[in-house]
Each structure stands twice: as structure tokens, then as C-alpha cells.
Chains A and B, each alone.
Chain A
Amino acid sequence: EVQLVESGGGLVQPGGSLRLSCAASGFTFTKFWMSWVRQAPGKGLEWVANINEHGTEMRYVDSVKGRFTISRDNAKNSIYLQMNSLRAEDTAVYYCTKGNWGDNWGQGTLVTVSS
């Protein structure tokens, strides 16, 4: 069974940083792109970033370019999202997803950016 478990969310002040983690299991991690998708409170879904199987290609939505960095550790079956220069509009539940087509989703981790 595919499992994706996010962690690392919390309350952070504007301009601050946070690092999210996603631990994956139940599938051959090294064969899949992985993505982060977020959902602001009461709003819809927004794709944030993805990373290829080897960790050599990363793509981002324009609103986070230069502030967020996606990475992965294939030895630990994990992906990460380093979020810097956080803004109020980054407040959301952040989901880790398997593949580029949203095959499976984690339970999400809430990031709140507020003073």
C-alpha cells in the first residue's frame, strides 16, 4: 500500500523559513517523479513543485521560484520542500503526491505564515 507522510508544518512569521518532509513507502520510490501541491484554507488546489526520479530536474510554479527548493533523498525514500522568505499567501496545507498525475496523496501538513 502506498503511504505518503508529510511533516514539518507549523506557524512561522513572514520572512521566515520552514522545511517540509515527506516519507514515502509502498512503491519503488526511485522510479517516480514526486510533487508538492498546496491548498490554502477554504480554497482549491495549486501545484507547487516537482522533482524527477534522480533529483536532477526540478520545476516550480512561478509564485515560489527563488524562494522554495524541492529535493529528495532516494536512500531515505523522502522528498523535501525548503521554503524561505515565506509570505502570508503561502499559508496552506501542503500535500506530497506520487508521480506527476497525483496518483496518491499524503494527509498534508499545515503551514501558517502569520505574525
Chain B
Amino acid sequence: DVVMTQSPLSLPVTLGQPASISCRSSQSLVHSDGNTYLNWFQQRPGQSPRRLIYMVSHRDSGVPDRFSGSGSGTNFTLKISRVEAEDVGVFYCMQTTHWPPFTFGPGTKVDIK
């Protein structure tokens, strides 16, 4: 199984400042079709997860453009250009290249300093 790791696991942030979360996989997430299937999710307190980014860098409809995804191979990053209060929650990366099973990272808890 592909093991996903994230860092940091806890990220206190200042409103209006940038934030960055790292996600690493135990093997390359490049699929035989040439695509890389790495997704990012946000789970606000008390809510279901919602996808923010798919295939490394494609932002979902309705997701603010302050969220961006990048990376390749085994190293990926989710960046928030300017953190807003509504960004508080837990962020997960998930790989869907090598399955079963699909695997998630442990999550990064973002809160306001």
C-alpha cells in the first residue's frame, strides 16, 4: 500500500498570512497513463470533507483561488496564499494512483494563532 505522510500535523497560522502543507508518498504517484492522481481535501469542524484540488493542481469549482496545489512524483504541496478564518480545519491529501486501497495522509490541523 502507498503510505502518505503530511507535515506539519499542526499548523497555527496568522490571518492574512500564507500557509503551506507538505504531502509525501512512499512511491511515485505517476500513473501509467502519465497522470498523477493526488487530491487535497478540507474538513471544517463538524463538517464532511470537501475536495479542494484534484490531480495535483486542478482547483475544484467554487474553491477560492488562494488555494493552490503543486508537486510531482512523491512530493506535493498545498498552499494558501492568505489564510482566512473560514480556512480553519483539517486538510488531507489522498492518492488514487495505486489502488486498492486509496490512501489518505494523516491530516494537518490548521487553526488561527
Taking Cβ atoms with an 8 Å cutoff, the residues of A that contact B are: 35, 44-47, 50, 59-62, 95, 100-108
Q: Are the CB atoms of B104 and A103 closer together than 8 Å? A: no
Shortest CB-to-CB span from B82 to chain A, Å, is 25
Instruction: Specify the chain B residue showing the minimal Cβ separation from A59.
Output: B100
Q: Are the CB atoms of A95 and B101 closer together than 8 Å? A: no
On chain B, the number of residues with a Cβ less than 8 Å from chain A's Cβ atoms is 22
Q: Are the CB atoms of B48 and A102 closer together than 8 Å? A: no
Shortest CB-to-CB span from A46 to chain B, Å, is 7
Q: Are the CB atoms of B104 and A47 closer together than 8 Å? A: yes
- For A45, what are the chain B residues with a Cβ–Cβ distance below 8 Å? 41, 43, 49, 92, 94, 104, 107
A49 to B44, CA, bound (A): 24
Q: Are the CB atoms of B106 and A102 closer together than 8 Å? A: no
- For A35, what are the chain B residues with a Cβ–Cβ distance below 8 Å? 102
- For A44, what are the chain B residues with a Cβ–Cβ distance below 8 Å? 90, 92, 104-107
- For A102, what are the chain B residues with a Cβ–Cβ distance below 8 Å? 39, 41, 49, 51, 94
A103 to B50, CA, bound (A): 8
A50 to B5, CA, bound (A): 23
Taking Cβ atoms with an 8 Å cutoff, the residues of B that contact A are: 37, 39, 41, 43, 48-51, 54, 90, 92, 94, 96, 99-107
- For A108, what are the chain B residues with a Cβ–Cβ distance below 8 Å? 48
A47 to B54, CA, bound (A): 17
Shortest CB-to-CB span from B80 to chain A, Å, is 19
A108 to B46, CA, bound (A): 11
A61 to B49, CA, bound (A): 20
Q: Are the CB atoms of B49 and A62 closer together than 8 Å? A: no
Q: Are the CB atoms of B103 and A47 closer together than 8 Å? A: yes
Q: Are the CB atoms of A101 and B48 closer together than 8 Å? A: no
Q: Are the CB atoms of A105 and B49 closer together than 8 Å? A: yes
A106 to B106, CA, bound (A): 21
Q: List 16 A-B contacts (CB under 8 A).
A: A35-B102, A44-B92, A44-B105, A45-B43, A45-B92, A45-B104, A47-B100, A47-B101, A60-B100, A60-B101, A61-B100, A95-B48, A100-B99, A102-B49, A103-B51, A107-B48
